[in-house]
């Protein structure tokens, strides 16, 4: 019995068989880096964004190499995941060229676009909707909320207000584009009340999925500087698991949980050490939920 709604189960039910993601670097930048919104990006973001391991090469080649490797033998259906930086931050013409270039194989059943809410417009939504209406692909957009606390959002240099996020979700809803929200646990100066408020805010939105990230310190980031100066201390594994349990047991039961921990590249992780061990989080949460007989959205008082 699953204690929460797993992405793998959802995809298998939706597509009739195991379906995996192909992460790609679309060659995008970010308005929080090039000066349009700010410089340097969010304080936890590395120079390459979230897909540090990805190779910079044409999109079709990235996908072809993935499908021809051992990873291409692990499933018969795939979703292309535009991962690095802001993947709607370009002209509509260039976006179409990049998205089109990813659809090189019949096994690709969808596209997943990671972006910022301040880079969602009517034109972008119209383009995204065309892939579901015309090309019969499942289209998902991932938006980095991290927190509903406006003060913390400024401290992490997020670069947009909560109203912008709310309006972006509503706009994507209007075009029937699936929305996945990113939430981070363990941000600087975050309290349990902040986590509770963020969960309430997420539950109020018409979203279909969530990615829950642990906050880790990576080399070359502003957060690393704060950590070394004693201005930031990551959560312990036990602290993270306690807060993660709260989030999952208070999330709406229909929300698909795409991940429950952030995965730092081994060559860039500064702290905490437990981030190296994803199974510690998976197994630790499972053990807690079974011991306490908890389920997603059961909303019992801890």
> pLDDT, tens digit, for every residue of 149-175?
999 999 999 999 999 999 999 999 999
Neighbours of 151 (CB within 10 A): 9
**22 lies in some domain:** yes
pLDDT of residue 170: 98
Smallest CA-to-CA distance from 235 within 180, 202, 292, 280 is with 280
Q: Cα–Cα distance between 251 and 295 in angstroms, integer?
A: 10
| CATH code at position 56 | 3.20.20.70
Structural domain boundaries enclosing 11: 7-292
Pairwise CA distance, residues 202 & 182, whole Å:
10
Q: How far from 240 is each of 195, 214, 243, CA to CA, in Å?
A: 12, 7, 5
Work out whether strand 108-115 and strand 138-146 pair parallel, antiparallel, or are unpaired. parallel
Give the C-alpha distances (Å, rounded to integers) separating 50 from 41, 82, 212. Answer: 12, 10, 14
Residue 89 falls inside a structural domain: yes
Reading the block at residue 16, the tokens are 């009739």
Kindly state whether residue 2 falls inside one of the protein's structural domains.
no
pLDDT under 50 in the chain at which residues?
49, 51-52, 301-302
| Cis peptide bond upstream of 296, omega within 30 | no
Contact 22/80 with Cβ under 8 angstroms?
A: yes
Q: How many domains does the chain have?
A: 1
Flag whether 286 is in a domain. Answer: yes
Q: Could you tell me if residue 298 is inside a domain? A: no
In a domain, 260, yes or no: yes
Residue 300 maps to a domain? no
CA dist., res. 86 & res. 46, Å (int): 14
Query: Any bridge partners for residue 115, and if so which?
Result: 143
Query: What pTM did the predictor assign?
Result: 0.94
In-domain check, residue 301: no
């Amino acid at each position: 019995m699953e204690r929460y709604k797993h992405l793998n189960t959802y995809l298998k039910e939706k597509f009739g068989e195991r379906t995996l993601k192909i992460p790609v670097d679309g060659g995008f930048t970010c308005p929080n880096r090039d000066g349009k919104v700010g410089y340097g990006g969010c304080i936890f973001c590395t120079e390459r964004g979230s897909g540090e391991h990805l190779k910079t090469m044409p999109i079709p080649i990235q996908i072809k190499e993935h499908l021809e490797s051992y990873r291409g033998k692990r499933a018969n259906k795939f979703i292309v995941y535009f991962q690095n930086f802001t993947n709607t931050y370009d002209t509509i013409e260039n976006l179409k060229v990049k998205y089109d270039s990813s659809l090189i194989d019949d096994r690709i059943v969808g596209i997943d676009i990671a972006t910022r809410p301040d880079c969602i417009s009517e034109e972008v939504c119209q383009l995204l909707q065309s892939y579901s209406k015309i090309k019969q692909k499942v289209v998902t957009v991932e938006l980095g909320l991290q927190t509903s606390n406006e003060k913390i959002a400024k401290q992490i240099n997020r670069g947009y207000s909560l109203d912008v996020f709310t309006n972006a979700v509503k706009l994507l809803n209007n075009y029937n584009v699936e929305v996945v929200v990113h939430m981070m646990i363990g941000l600087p100066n975050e309290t349990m009340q902040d986590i509770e408020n963020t969960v309430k805010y997420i539950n109020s939105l018409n979203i279909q999925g969530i990615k829950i990230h642990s906050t880790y310190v990576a080399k070359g980031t502003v957060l690393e500087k704060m950590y070394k100066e004693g201005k930031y201390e990551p959560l312990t594994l036990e602290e993270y698991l306690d807060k993660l349990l709260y989030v999952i047991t208070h999330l709406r039961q229909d929300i698909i949980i795409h991940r429950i921990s952030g995965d730092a590249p081994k060559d860039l992780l500064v702290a905490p050490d437990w981030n190296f061990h994803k199974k510690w989080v998976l197994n630790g949460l499972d053990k807690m939920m079974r011991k306490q007989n908890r389920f997603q959205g059961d909303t019992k008082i801890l």
